[in-house]
Structure formats: C-alpha cells, structure tokens
C-alpha cells in the first residue's frame, strides 16, 4: 500500500499541473526557451555533482559519465534550443480545389500533463533527455527517477526544484509502489525506459486512459560477424561497446554470433584486445546486489570463459568475461544479460543465422560486421531492429540527428533531438475558411444534378 502522504503528493501535483497547462502557461515559444535556458545553466553549474552522483551509484569512470550523461545531454539541449522556433513553426500544405478558398496548415501541439519514468543505468541522461523534449514541446512533466540510483535521484530532484515551478515540472521519488500509484492517474502522455516486462505493465496502465506512450526497452542485441569481417577491428569495437557502463546499456551488444569458419581467429583477436585494453578496474560496477546475484547465476555453467581480472563481490565489481563455446539454447542466451558477460555463439549459414535471430524478436539494436554488402542487406531485410550500426557498435544511439527507439519487443516510439519534440507533441490539422467564401462544393441537399458535374470535374 502506498504511503498516504505520497498519494496526496501525487494527487496535488497532478491536479496542479492540469490547471497550469489548461491556463496556457506552457504554450508560448518564449516560455519554453526560457525554461530550457535555466535548465542548461543549472546543469552546467552542477557538472561536478553529476559526476559524483554517478560515481556513487554505479562507480562510473568520470570519462564515461562526462561523455554519456553530461556533455551528450548538453549537446541535445543546445541543439533543441537552437532549432526549436523552426520546428514549432506551422507548416502550410496545399488544399484541393473543392476546398478553396482556404488556408491549410499543420501545427505541433503539446499533449498536456506527461509522466516520465527513468531507469537507473543512465540515470541523469535518461531522466533529462525526455524531459527536455517534453518541455520544448510545451507539456508539463511529472518525473519519476529510479530509486535504485539514489544519489542521482536526489540530484535530479534538486536540479528540477531549482529550475522549474512544481506546477510545470516536478520530481516524485519512491519505489515500485510509487510508480504504480502514478500510473493510476490519467496522464496525457507516458514515457518509460526500462525492462520489457515492466514496459508491458506501463503500456497496459496507459491504455486504460487511452494515453499514448513511448516505451524504450531493450532485448538481446546481436553483434554478427561474418567470414569477411576484419576481426581485429570487430573484436575491439564490440568489446568497447559491451563493457561501456559495465555492460549495463540497453542497446549494448548482448552476444556475438560469428561464422564458424572464423570462430577460432576471433577468439585469438579477443584475447589480444583484452591483453591490450584493461577494462578491469576502469569499469562501472553492477548497480546492486540483486543484479549481481542474477549475473552470478548466469555464470553457473561449464562453458569456457576468457576473464580479465577478478571479481570483487563486496564492491559489486564483476570482472569482464567472454563466454565461449556457447550453444544457442544455453541459459545465458535466454534473457538480456545487462552486465559484463559476453557469450559467443556460432552459425554456419545465412539461413541458420536468420532463423536463430528471429527467435529473439526485434532488438533495440543490430550490429553487423562484414565487408559483404549483399550479406549486410540480406540480414537487414530479414531482421527488424530499432537501430542498426554496421562495422561498429553504439554509434547509432549517440547520434542526435537520428531517432532512437525500439520496435516490437524492444519498444515503440522515438526520441533524441527533433524526434523527441515530435514524440511529445501531436500534429494538429487546421483549415481556415473566410466567412465570405461561397459554399459551391458543400455536399448537402438538394443534390439535383450535382453528381453530373462532380463526375466531370472530380475525376
């Protein structure tokens, strides 16, 4: 049962934002721009606090935290500020002759009171990135950060309180019961980032109120290596993407599927990369004991492993390891890993690969390493995914001019840059007719012989 104080806070905050939006406060371009400017200034002033919070929650190296959760966020914020006026400008469209005289246009309109539910793995970026889009689109926002990243949760609440009046943007903190209570309220739009299992619950709750939603989920994102790939490059780039943030990235490579003819050569290159790059000691730790235990259970296997360094369970530091000689039906291949464990499976033909990959549904990302254009296009045509990166990993998710999101089991909806603004608003059709215009083409009785000239002119 949710604490009655939390229930009251949710109710008061939601009601206050309904009134604030209805009064039209968020509608003007200047209001939105001013709010984004204040947020940018606050983020800049809290740069060191962001790095410290991410160290406390995940042990993130400062380089990773700065690149992925601070600078990347500022770049998106500045990009939206720069282009917002152009993106919000109504767009004229032509009108059919039988509607004339008239002016037809499309406008971007905010949904209203929105709910954003952020995850723990990139707690700063994945809270503020959708928030920026929601504010730019003219909505009010209730933001629920993850309680699992408690230092970041506290900092997010502090920044939001400094920047926004609560009737515009508020942070509500709490556990899963708090999230459930929020989802019982009628929001105009819901944005969720997290697991597929929880995403299904969020979608069901939103559907009760016919609220549109964006679901940013995950899945088992494959890194496919065919016999034409440059193996040294592939090994380096896959491991770099996998072990960033300790493997706790929704679109990180989840496993490698390699053509059996180059399997042994790939293992050699992976060993060389692990000898060259020391991730151990320079990698984020597992978020908490529950997830650490879950990962340990995946390691209860007799499959050979290539391991770099030792585990330090008391500090939640799991050594990066490659699991070799894995079968497609092994336990580690049945769920998204979300940690520093990378299994390698083999395939013998394109058709076998396609059949195996289709069994996992549609992942958030698909990584293809090949110099064979025909092979690349065949796999792209056969396997759906939210995004694709060829001969590298993660880059499609770091590109602010490309939409980011899933399909099928990995979610739906897009954000990042302009795509975020489009997701948090809807396209409104507006037709303006002058009062003096004759009603020549209005279809109302008496019809008489109108059908004759309609057949003649409306062909």
Active site residues: 216, 250
Query: By the 8 A CB rule, do 273 and 241 touch?
Result: no
Of 220, 249, 218, which is closest to residue 121 (Cα–Cα)? 249
User: Using CA atoms, how far apart are residues 169 and 140, in angstroms rounded to an integer?
Assistant: 6
Strand partners, 449: none
**What are the start-end ranges of the E strands in 172-308?**
189-193, 213-216, 222-225, 255-259, 305-307
Please compute, for residue 6, the number of CA atoms within 13 A of its CA located in the half-sphere on the CB side. 16
- Measured in degrees and rounded to the nearest 5, phi and psi for residue 357 equal -65, -35
Q: How many CB atoms lie under 10 A from the CB of residue 334?
A: 11
H/E element, 108: strand 103-110
Q: And the tokens for 89?
A: 């400008």
Residue 87, helix vs strand vs coil? helix
DSSP code at position 415: B
Pairing of strands 113-117, 103-110: unpaired
Query: By the 8 A CB rule, do 63 and 293 touch?
Result: no
Length of the chain counted residue by residue: 459
Of 138, 86, 79, 130, which is closest to residue 112 (Cα–Cα)? 138
Of 85, 49, 147, 130, which is closest to residue 416 (Cα–Cα)? 130
- Give ∠ CA 114-411-195 in degrees, rounded to 5: 85
- Give ∠ CA 377-381-384 in degrees, rounded to 5: 125
**Placement of tokens 């739009």 in the chain:** 189
Query: By the 8 A CB rule, do 148 and 175 touch?
Result: no
User: Using CA atoms, how far apart are residues 134 and 32, in angstroms rounded to an integer?
Assistant: 10
Q: And the tokens for 107?
A: 């406008």
Of 411, 387, 409, 410, which is closest to residue 399 (Cα–Cα)? 387
DSSP code at position 361: -
Query: By the 8 A CB rule, do 386 and 406 touch?
Result: yes
């Amino acid at each position: 049962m949710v604490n009655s104080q939390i229930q009251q806070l949710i109710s008061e905050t939601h009601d206050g934002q309904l009134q604030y939006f209805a009064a039209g406060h968020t509608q003007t371009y200047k209001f939105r721009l001013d709010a984004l400017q204040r947020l940018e200034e606050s983020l800049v002033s809290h740069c060191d606090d962001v790095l410290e919070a991410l160290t406390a929650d995940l042990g993130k190296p400062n380089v990773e935290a700065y690149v992925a959760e601070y600078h990347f966020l500022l770049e998106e914020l500045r990009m939206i500020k720069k282009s917002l006026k152009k993106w919000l400008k109504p767009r004229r469209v032509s009108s059919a002759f039988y509607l004339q005289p008239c002016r037809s246009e499309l406008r971007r309109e905010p949904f209203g009171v929105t709910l954003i539910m952020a995850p723990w793995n990139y707690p700063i970026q994945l809270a503020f990135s959708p928030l920026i889009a929601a504010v730019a689109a003219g909505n009010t926002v209730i933001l629920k950060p993850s309680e699992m990243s408690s230092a970041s949760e506290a900092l997010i609440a502090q920044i939001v309180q400094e920047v926004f009046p609560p009737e515009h943007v508020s942070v509500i903190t709490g556990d899963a019961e708090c999230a459930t209570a929020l989802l019982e309220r009628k929001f105009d739009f819901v944005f969720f980032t997290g697991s597929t299992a929880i995403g299904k619950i969020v979608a069901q709750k939103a559907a009760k109120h016919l609220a549109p939603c964006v679901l940013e989920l995950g899945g088992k994102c494959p890194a496919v290596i065919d016999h034409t790939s440059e193996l040294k490059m592939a090994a380096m780039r896959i491991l770099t993407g996998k072990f960033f943030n300790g493997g706790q990235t929704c679109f990180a490579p989840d496993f490698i599927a390699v053509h059996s003819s180059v399997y042994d050569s790939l293992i050699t290159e992976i060993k060389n990369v692990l000898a060259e790059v020391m991730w151990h000691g320079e990698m984020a730790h597992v978020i908490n004991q529950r997830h650490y235990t879950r990962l340990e259970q995946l390691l209860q296997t007799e499959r050979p492993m290539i391991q770099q360094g030792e585990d330090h369970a008391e500090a939640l530091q799991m050594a990066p390891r490659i699991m070799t000689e894995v079968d497609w039906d092994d336990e580690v291949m049945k769920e998204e890993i979300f940690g520093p464990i990378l299994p390698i499976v083999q395939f013998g033909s394109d058709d076998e690969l396609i059949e195996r990959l289709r069994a996992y549904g549609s992942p958030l990302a698909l990584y293809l390493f090949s110099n064979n254009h025909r092979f690349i296009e065949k796999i792209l045509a056969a396997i759906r995914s939210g995004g694709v990166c060829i001969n590298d990993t993660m880059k499609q998710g770091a590109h602010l001019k490309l939409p980011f999101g899933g399909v099928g089991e990995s979610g739906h909806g897009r954000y990042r840059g302009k795509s975020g603004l489009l997701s948090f608003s809807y396209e409104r059709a507006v037709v303006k007719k002058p009062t003096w215009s004759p009603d020549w083409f209005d279809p109302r009785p008496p019809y008489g012989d109108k059908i004759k000239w309609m057949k003649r002119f409306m062909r």
